[in-house]
Amino acid sequence: MASSADTLVTAPPAALPRRRKGPRRKARRGRAGYLFVAPFLLFFAAAFIAPLAYAAYTSLFRTRLVGGTVFAGLQNYREVLHDQAFRDGVLRMARFLVTQVPIMLVLAVAFALAIDSGRLWGPRFVRLSIFLPYAVPSAVAALMWGYLYGPSFGPITQLADNLGVTAPNLLSGGWMLPSIANIVTWEFVGYNMIIFYAVLRAIPAELYEAAAVDGAGPVRVAVHIKLPALRPALGLTAIFSIIGTFQLFTEPSIMHTVAPNVINRSYTPSLYAYNLAFTDQRLNYAAALSFAMGAVIVIVTAAFVLVFSRRRARS
Amino acid sequence: MRPAATMSAQRAAPTVRINLLAVLRRRSVPLTIAMFVCVAYFLLPLLWLVIASTKSDSGLFNTFGYSVQTRDFQLWHNVRQVFSYGDGQFVRWLVNTVFYAVASAGGAAVLATAGGYGFAKFDFVGKRAAFAVVVVSIMVPGIALTIPSYLLFAKLGIVNTPLSIILPSLVSPFGIYLMRVYAADAIDDSLLEAARIDGAGEVRIFFQIALRLLAPGVVTVVLFTLVATWNNYFLPFIMLNDPSLFPVTVGLAQWNAQASGGGGAEAVFSLVITGSLISVLPLAVAFLLLQRYWQSGLSAGSVKT
């Protein structure tokens, strides 16, 4: 009897005696779990669930000049789908996403590999210098870069003038998106690099020893050991970058004060939602638009996860 | 995998045995030069900020950005200006920022630590669903949350108060995710089981055994929320309209709007620049000193997924 039970049970043998003590003990421990998660979930319900539920509810209504607020069903959402300003904003963020995020992550991986290679002089100085911009609040970073780009006393323009060439107006319509992309890259390369570097540090030394025995050089070690180890972290940072990109608000909002003619009220979806809600007082429409934006984020993230995990399965 | 702190210690051990000469010979000059060029990209903007804060407004316009004017060195004058302008509102903003950041980070760490421990070490009905909802909520756009929060807070009458900044910042989905991963690794189940057999209650086990083991993870969550609140612009920008409640980010942006709008002949550009420098300093110092916690915490979060 006992032996047949042992072979049937898949749990490790250590779990057996505990299980015999009966389900009551386990249930009591389970209830203690509620005690620990309840405070967080309570605040979570208040700060996340309640506002979202409220926004979902208001997005189904419309305020008319005459007649007050009336139920409108999905009409606001239909309008969002046909809203050219919203589409332009989403497309602008999509362009930002496919250029800025790969550049940022490739740089972060390259820097992490360089620092981890042990072939640098002053690796600690390099690591801290690249990470330092993350300590600068994005509002302050945007202010500072706004001055650096600026034509009045920005060093870029000054340098170009001294060399007798005309600097491009980095705050003009054509340059604004790359200029903002540069600010975001400057801020977040170091943050991503630290994540990758931490992963590289966690690779067990035995793997390197085995590679050395096989005669693998530093490049082969990087390609066959380090890059595969970085894959999960790369996926995670990419997801966070997708989420962050579509929510872009601070940098364009600050740039608006420097270049009001370039950054219009719907330059990014977040800026548009803000202006709809607080400038136009169109709260119902702003709520619907925010949800549409959330849907875009979920769809793009899901598409990324699908492609990313399928490729992993193949390799 | 174990947390990175122990892993890196393991890896550091064999390097000690390799003699110093071999390490130095491995170093590459071309790679180092290439990396220092990259480092310049990250440091030069901050260097400009430091140099620009030593100049008067006319100095900003009439001298090259990276040249230090020793004869017209205005740093102390600028700093005094920053602290005294508008009845010392900058000092208020700094105090507000510290208060919002510390209150949010402390509260968020308490909630995330207890919650992460609960999710990692107990089985209860609805656990998987609750955790899934929390993780998915990371994807909710800030604006989608902040606009309805503003409306609800307006109904409760707490818009334009410190509560409207602190309450939303207490909930950190990423923090609880991090603590769950960390608690699963750092606390051995057999240790908890032994304490239970000895008759210790769950609350006592948490405070006397688990908390000590979770300490490095707690530090990481505190740092994360501290930086997130310190750097936050969006939430206070929407929730607050009383300048005496502003954090430093919103205050500086307002000064900048005044300067760019060209409101009179006031020396406001140097004010924004020097204020920016001062606002960056505390966090930059904290970063350099506490760097190791970032690394261990971040790796715990990313190695596991």
Residue A204 covered by a domain: yes
**What confidence tens digit (pLDDT) does each residue in A26-78 have?**
555 678 889 999 999 999 999 999 999 999 999 999 887 777 788 888 999 99
DSSP H or E stretch at residue B101: helix B75-121
Q: Give the integer Cα–Cα distance in Å for B272 and B267.
A: 9
Share of chain A above pLDDT 90, in %: 61
Q: Between B4 and A221, name the one with better pLDDT.
A: A221
- Specify the residue for token string 């939602």: A273
Q: Give the integer Cα–Cα distance in Å for B292 and B304.
A: 18
Contacts of residue A33 in chain B, CB cutoff 8 Å?
A: 118-119, 121-124, 127
Residue A51 covered by a domain: yes
CA distances to A14, A130, A135 from B142, rounded to whole Å, are: 46, 27, 21
Mean of pLDDT values over B10-30: 64
pLDDT band at A166 (very low <50, low <70, confident <90, very high): confident
Contact A228/B at CB under 8 A: no
Reference A254, options B275, B259, B72; nearest CA is B259
Q: Give the integer Cα–Cα distance in Å for B133 and B173.
A: 10
Cβ atoms of residues A171 and A149 within 8 Å: yes
A104, A227: one domain: yes
Contact A195 B302 (CB under 8 A): yes
- Domains held by chain A: number: 2
Contacts of residue B28 in chain A, CB cutoff 8 Å?
A: 119-120
Share of chain B above pLDDT 90, in %: 52
Contact A249 B298 (CB under 8 A): no
**What confidence tens digit (pLDDT) does each residue in B141-163 have?**
888 899 999 999 999 999 999 99
Cβ atoms of residues B183 and B131 within 8 Å: no
A117, A21: one domain: no
- Please tell me the number of Cα atoms within 13 Å of B177 on its side-chain side: 19
- Domains held by chain B: number: 1
User: Would you tell me which residues 249-278 of chain A have a C-beta closer than 8 angstroms to some C-beta of chain B?
Assistant: 249-250, 253-254, 257-258, 269-270, 273-274, 277-278
Q: At CA B148, angle to CA B147 and CA B153, rounded to 5?
A: 100
A87, A209: one domain: yes
A169, A30: one domain: no
CATH of the domain at A119: 1.10.3720.10
A166, A288: one domain: yes
User: In the 3-class helix/strand/coil scheme, how is chain A assigned residue by residue?
Assistant: CHHHHHHHCCCCCCHHHHHHCCHHHHHHHHHHHHHHHHHHHHHHHHHHHHHHHHHHHHCCEEEECCCEEEECCCHHHHHHHCCHHHHHHHHHHHHHHHHHHHHHHHHHHHHHHHHHCCCCCCHHHHHHHHHHHHHCCHHHHHHHHHHHHCCCCCHHHHHHHHCCCCCCCCCCHHHHHHHHHHHHHHHHHHHHHHHHHHHHHCCCHHHHHHHHHCCCCHHHHHHHHHHHHHHHHHHHHHHHHHHHHHCCCHHHHHHHHHCCCCCCCCCCHHHHHHHHHHHCCCHHHHHHHHHHHHHHHHHHHHHHHHHHHHHHHHC
| A186 min Cα distance to partner chain B (Å) | 7
Residue B36 covered by a domain: no
Contact B202 A154 (CB under 8 A): no
Residue A83 covered by a domain: yes
Residue A68 covered by a domain: no
Cβ atoms of residues A201 and A123 within 8 Å: no
Q: Give the pLDDT confidence score for residue A273 in this predicted structure.
A: 95
The ipTM (two decimal places) reads 0.85
CATH of the domain at B180: 1.10.3720.10
Mean of pLDDT values over A170-190: 94
Contacts of residue B143 in chain A, CB cutoff 8 Å?
A: 247, 249, 269-270, 273-274, 290, 293
- Minimal-distance CA residue of chain B relative to A233: B302
A150, A271: one domain: yes
pLDDT band at A17 (very low <50, low <70, confident <90, very high): very low
Contact A26/B at CB under 8 A: yes
User: Would you tell me which residues 65-104 of chain A have a C-beta closer than 8 angstroms to some C-beta of chain B?
Assistant: none
**Which residue range is the domain that position A90 belongs to?**
75-314
Contacts of residue A204 in chain B, CB cutoff 8 Å?
A: 7, 10
DSSP-based three-state secondary structure for B242? coil
A276, A127: one domain: yes
Q: Give the integer Cα–Cα distance in Å for A247 and A273.
A: 11
Q: Give the pLDDT confidence score for residue A312 in this predicted structure.
A: 65
Residue A6 has pLDDT above 50, yes or no: no
- Minimal-distance CA residue of chain A relative to B139: A243
Cβ atoms of residues A194 and B300 within 8 Å: no
Q: Give the pLDDT confidence score for residue B108 in this predicted structure.
A: 95
Residue B97 covered by a domain: yes
Contact A130 B38 (CB under 8 A): yes
Q: Give the pLDDT confidence score for residue A95 in this predicted structure.
A: 96
Residue B52 covered by a domain: no
**What confidence tens digit (pLDDT) does each residue in B200-234 have?**
889 999 999 999 999 888 988 888 888 888 889 99
Contact B256 A257 (CB under 8 A): yes
Contacts of residue B29 in chain A, CB cutoff 8 Å?
A: 121
Residue A67 covered by a domain: no
Mean of pLDDT values over A218-222: 87
Across the interface, which of A51, A125, A232 has its CB nearest the CB of B302?
A: A232
A164, A27: one domain: no
Residue B255 covered by a domain: yes
Q: What is the pTM of this model?
A: 0.86
Contacts of residue B55 in chain A, CB cutoff 8 Å?
A: none
Residue A313 has pLDDT above 60, yes or no: yes
Residue B61 has pLDDT above 60, yes or no: yes
Residue B303 has pLDDT above 60, yes or no: no
Q: What is the token pair recorded at A213?
A: 């025995």
| B65 min Cα distance to partner chain A (Å) | 5
Q: Give the pLDDT confidence score for residue B8 in this predicted structure.
A: 43
Contact A34 B124 (CB under 8 A): yes
Residue B75 covered by a domain: no
CA distances to A45, A266, B229, B238 from B235, rounded to whole Å, are: 18, 19, 9, 5
Contact A243 B139 (CB under 8 A): yes
Alpha helices in B189-268 (DSSP H): 189-197, 202-205, 211-231, 234-239, 248-261
Across the interface, which of B130, B143, B249 has its CB nearest the CB of A290?
A: B143
- Please tell me the number of Cα atoms within 13 Å of B181 on its side-chain side: 23
Residue A70 covered by a domain: no
Residue B189 covered by a domain: yes
A50, A99: one domain: no
Contact A32 B202 (CB under 8 A): yes
Cβ atoms of residues A188 and A103 within 8 Å: no
Contact B46 A132 (CB under 8 A): yes
Q: Give the pLDDT confidence score for residue A66 in this predicted structure.
A: 73
- Specify the residue for token string 């930059």: B284
A41, A101: one domain: no
User: How many angstroms from the chain centroid is the CA of residue A241?
Assistant: 3
Contacts of residue A158 in chain B, CB cutoff 8 Å?
A: 64-65
Q: Give the integer Cα–Cα distance in Å for A259 and A171.
A: 6
User: In the 3-class helix/strand/coil scheme, how is B58-95 assigned residue by residue?
Assistant: HHHHHCCCCCCCCCCCCHHHHHHHHHHHHHHHHHHHHH
- Least confident range from B67-81, B92-106, B283-297: namely B283-297
Residue A246: CB atoms within 10 Å = 24
Residue B64 covered by a domain: no
pLDDT band at B247 (very low <50, low <70, confident <90, very high): very high
Residue B73 has pLDDT above 60, yes or no: yes
- List beta partners, residue A68: A64
Across the interface, which of A40, A117, A198 has its CB nearest the CB of B176?
A: A40
Q: Between B273 and B86, name the one with better pLDDT.
A: B273
Q: Give the pLDDT confidence score for residue A314 in this predicted structure.
A: 59
| B87 min Cα distance to partner chain A (Å) | 22
| A114 min Cα distance to partner chain B (Å) | 8
A202, A296: one domain: yes
Residue B250 covered by a domain: yes
Q: Give the pLDDT confidence score for residue B23 in this predicted structure.
A: 67
**What confidence tens digit (pLDDT) does each residue in A268-282 have?**
999 999 999 999 999
Mean of pLDDT values over A13-17: 42
Q: Give the pLDDT confidence score for residue B170 in this predicted structure.
A: 94
**Which residue range is the domain that position B98 belongs to?**
4-19+87-303
Cβ atoms of residues B221 and B290 within 8 Å: no
User: Among the ranges A13-17, A227-231, B15-19, B20-24, which has the highest mean pLDDT value?
Assistant: A227-231
**What confidence tens digit (pLDDT) does each residue in A99-116 have?**
999 999 999 999 999 999
A119, A196: one domain: yes
DSSP codes, B22-51: HHHHH--HHHHHHHHHHHHHHHHHHHHHHH
Q: Give the pLDDT confidence score for residue B257 in this predicted structure.
A: 87
Q: Give the integer Cα–Cα distance in Å for A285 and A74.
A: 11
Q: Give the integer Cα–Cα distance in Å for B280 and A75.
A: 46
User: In the 3-class helix/strand/coil scheme, how is B127-167 assigned residue by residue?
Assistant: HHHHHHHHHHHHHCCHHHHHHHHHHHHHHHCCCCCCHHHHH
Q: Give the pLDDT confidence score for residue A11 in this predicted structure.
A: 38
Reference A143, options B99, B229, B52; nearest CA is B52
Q: Which residues contact A311 (CB under 8 A, 6 or more apart)?
A: none
Q: Which residues contact B301 (CB under 8 A, 6 or more apart)?
A: A236, B174, B177, B178, B181
